[in-house]
């Protein structure tokens, strides 16, 4: 029997703004679409948190026995600067700066994205379509929306008519916005704009002469609007009505709001039953974003080549850190938090390594069946990874007690415990056992920290010969110290 028949899953639906019991459209099958990256630069950690949040969802649904079609797109065209309908295409701009073809930019950063997600041990989606691979589908949807009277063409561009749509539908129902308020707070359109109203958004944009990325259409040589690609790809691979749509919290408005409007104008039905949004990762208390420069790249964490962290941290520890907060909670990134996470993770995994050598007894002093269900209860409650991790630490504590002879477990319960721990640690959370080299890396980091402290004492005592010797000899073996206002850090 499939596990989902015995486990009642609830999730927070951003559309209804409450937790709901999850019921798929077709029993045993789930269609899930998640907005993927715009591939014009290296994926930063804030992006990774969103994709790892939905990797957790994907893994747990599969663990429950659902057959999941997980679609996550690659945006390789149409995403203009500032998420607006004007300005330069992000990928084309990068291509102009680097003096290469736009598709070289897209290819380079798509590869970087895939390599980064592999390091985090994230499962690949079932389908990973691209915007440029679905131009025909996007043109077809625009033609239908025009035919249904919810769009207009002007000077070779096509715009979605939000006011017309709102006469018979509700634009703003996902984000909880009122169109009248949006109109009151919007600026008047400039004279050169082709839009009827400021709230209207582009379905197709006529390409200016300097715009490199362009395709022929019934209206002009141009390119599709950013919002349209997700409607086209989710409809093609999941149908006009599917189970889950996910993305970052920042996409709720206008991107996802526009998706709903497009789908309803195209096929006259709300496309998604459950909307899920992962919250942001902050750095120094501010949103982590490429545009502001307030971000850190995953590889900078793994190598220690940054000015923020005291030492390198592995992908698994970084991932474990992110899962210690609920996906809908804001999480602030810091060196202290990662150090505490690393110690906790190593302590937990050391306990689990003792499972195969535990002595068994005639009774169990811990209710293993109840503990196992508590792990499911955590994940069934809107994928609550922090509570699941707390239960895993409880198991680690119990294992250590059995090892020390302060608790006991029966042979049958031990097998249940082993299976459950393997399922939740490796299958659901997707964590990896740190290799010996990673364990040694932790010891190396502690050793270097000791040398940094000795060097600091030497400098305070004006023993600059010893201070310089520590720095230079570490550099000679590839360990570089960096002195800053907040102290000394190192990179390998």
The whole-number pLDDT of residue 436 equals 43
Would you state the pLDDT for residue 449? 79
Residue 16, judged by CB atoms within 10 A of its CB (0-12, 13-18, 19+), counts as exposed
Read off the tokens for 452: 């940094």
The predicted structure's pLDDT at residue 413: 98
Give start and end residues of each alpha helix (H) in 201-291: 226-238, 257-267
Q: Of 80-89, 155-164, 165-174, 278-287, where does mean pLDDT reach its minimum? A: 80-89
User: Looking at the structure, do residues 396 and 460 belong to the same domain, yes or no?
Assistant: no
pLDDT category of residue 234 using cuts at 50, 70 and 90: very high
189 lies in the same domain as 333: no
Q: Please, which pLDDT band fits residue 295 given cuts at 50, 70 and 90? A: confident
Do 75 and 189 fall into the same domain?
A: yes
* 449 and 389 together in one domain: no
pLDDT at 130 over 80: yes
**Boundary residue ending a domain (406, 428, 450):** 428
Has residue 138 got a pLDDT over 90? yes
- Mean pLDDT for the chain overall: 92
Q: What CATH number does residue 177 fall under? A: 3.40.50.620
- What's the whole-number mean pLDDT along residues 5-28? 98
Question: Which region among 13-17, 230-234, 434-438 has the lowest average model confidence (pLDDT)?
Answer: 434-438
Tell whether 304 and 388 lie within a shared domain: yes
Q: Considering the chain, what percentage of its residues have pLDDT values greater than 90? A: 75
Task: Provide the CATH number for the domain around residue 400.
Answer: 1.10.730
The reply to whether 129 and 271 lie within a common domain is yes
Mean pLDDT, to the nearest integer, of 167-184?
A: 91
Q: What is the mean pLDDT of residues 415-437?
A: 90
Single residue among 376, 405, 428 that ends a domain in this structure: 428
Same domain, 417 and 463: no
Same domain flag for 146 and 34: yes
Query: Is residue 437 pLDDT above 50, yes or no?
Result: no
Please indicate, yes or no, whether residues 256 and 309 belong to a single structural domain of this protein: no
Rounded percentage of the chain residues whose pLDDT exceeds 70: 95
- What pLDDT, on the 0 to 100 scale, is given for residue 461? 86
Residue 126: which pLDDT band, with cuts at 50, 70 and 90? very high
Distance of CA 268 to the CA centre of its chain: 30
pLDDT, residue 19, reads: 98
The verdict on 152 and 40 lying in the same domain is yes
Over residues 41-45, mean pLDDT:
92
Q: Which residue, 262, 278, 294, sits at the end of a domain? A: 278
Whether the pLDDT of residue 272 is over 50: the answer is: yes
pLDDT for 325-358, tens place per residue?
999 999 999 999 999 999 999 999 999 999 999 9
* Pair 133, 242 in one domain: yes
Number of domains the chain contains: 3
27: domain range? 3-278
Alpha helices in 44-161 (DSSP H): 45-63, 90-98, 102-119, 135-147
Greater model confidence, 413 or 433: 413
Model confidence pLDDT, tens digit, residues 307-319: 889 899 999 999 9
Q: What pLDDT, on the 0 to 100 scale, is given for residue 294? A: 79
Do 373 and 463 sit in the same domain of this protein?
A: no
> With bands split at pLDDT 50, 70 and 90, how would you rate the model's confidence at 492?
low
* DSSP letters spanning 21-69: E---SBTTEEEEEE---B-SSPPPHHHHHHHHHHHHHHHHHHHTT-EEE
Quickly tell me which residue has 């639906």 as its tokens.
13
Assign 486 a pLDDT band (cuts: 50, 70, 90).
low
pLDDT, position 485: 63
Residue that is written with structure tokens 């200016």 in the block? 208
Sorting pLDDT into bands at 50, 70 and 90, what band is 466? confident
């Amino acid at each position: 029997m499939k596990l989902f028949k015995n486990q009642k899953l609830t999730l927070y639906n951003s559309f209804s703004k409450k937790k709901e019991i999850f019921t798929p459209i077709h029993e045993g099958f789930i269609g899930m679409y998640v907005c993927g990256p715009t591939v014009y630069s290296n994926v930063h950690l804030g992006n990774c948190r969103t994709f790892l949040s939905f990797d957790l969802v994907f893994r747990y649904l599969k663990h429950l026995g659902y057959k999941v079609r997980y679609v996550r797109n690659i945006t390789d065209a149409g995403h203009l600067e500032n998420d607006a309908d004007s300005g330069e295409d992000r990928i084309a701009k990068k291509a102009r700066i680097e003096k290469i073809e736009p598709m070289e930019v897209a290819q380079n950063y798509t590869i970087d994205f895939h390599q980064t997600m592999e390091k985090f041990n994230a499962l690949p989606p079932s389908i990973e379509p691209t915007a440029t691979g679905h131009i025909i589908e996007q043109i077809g949807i625009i033609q239908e929306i025009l035919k249904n009277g919810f769009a207009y063409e002007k000077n070779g561009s096509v715009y979605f008519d939000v006011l017309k749509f709102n006469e018979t539908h509700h634009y703003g129902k996902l984000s909880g916005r009122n169109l009248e308020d949006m109109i009151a707070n919007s600026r008047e359109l400039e004279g050169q704009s082709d839009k009827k109203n400021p709230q209207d958004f582009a379905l197709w944009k006529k390409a200016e002469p300097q715009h490199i990325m362009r395709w022929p259409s019934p209206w002009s040589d141009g390119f599709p609007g950013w919002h349209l690609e997700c409607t086209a790809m989710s409809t093609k691979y999941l149908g006009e009505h599917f189970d889950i749509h996910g993305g970052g919290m920042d996409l709720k408005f206008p991107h996802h709001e526009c998706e709903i409007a497009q789908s309803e104008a195209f096929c006259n039905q709300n496309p998604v039953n459950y909307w899920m949004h992962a919250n942001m990762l902050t750095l120094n208390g501010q949103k982590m974003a490429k545009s502001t420069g307030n971000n850190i790249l995953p590889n900078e964490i793994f190598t220690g080549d940054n000015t923020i962290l005291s030492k390198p941290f592995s992908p698994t520890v970084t991932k474990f850190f992110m899962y210690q907060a609920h996906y809908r909670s804001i999480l602030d990134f810091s060196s202290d938090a990662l150090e505490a996470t690393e110690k906790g993770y190593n302590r937990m995994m050391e306990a689990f390594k003792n499972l195969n050598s535990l002595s068994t007894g005639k009774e169990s002093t811990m209710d293993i069946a109840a503990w196992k269900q508590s792990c499911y209860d955590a994940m069934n409650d809107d994928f609550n990874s922090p509570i699941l991790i707390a239960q895993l630490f409880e198991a680690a504590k119990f294992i250590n007690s059995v090892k020390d002879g302060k608790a006991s477990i029966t042979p049958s319960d031990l097998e249940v415990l082993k299976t459950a721990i393997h399922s939740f640690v490796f299958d659901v959370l997707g964590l990896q056992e740190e290799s010996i080299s990673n364990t040694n890396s932790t010891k190396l980091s502690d050793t270097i920290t000791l040398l940094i402290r000795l060097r600091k004492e030497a400098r305070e005592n004006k023993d600059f010969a010893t201070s310089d010797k520590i720095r230079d000899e570490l550099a000679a073996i590839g360990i570089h110290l960096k002195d800053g206002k907040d102290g000394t850090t190192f990179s390998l």
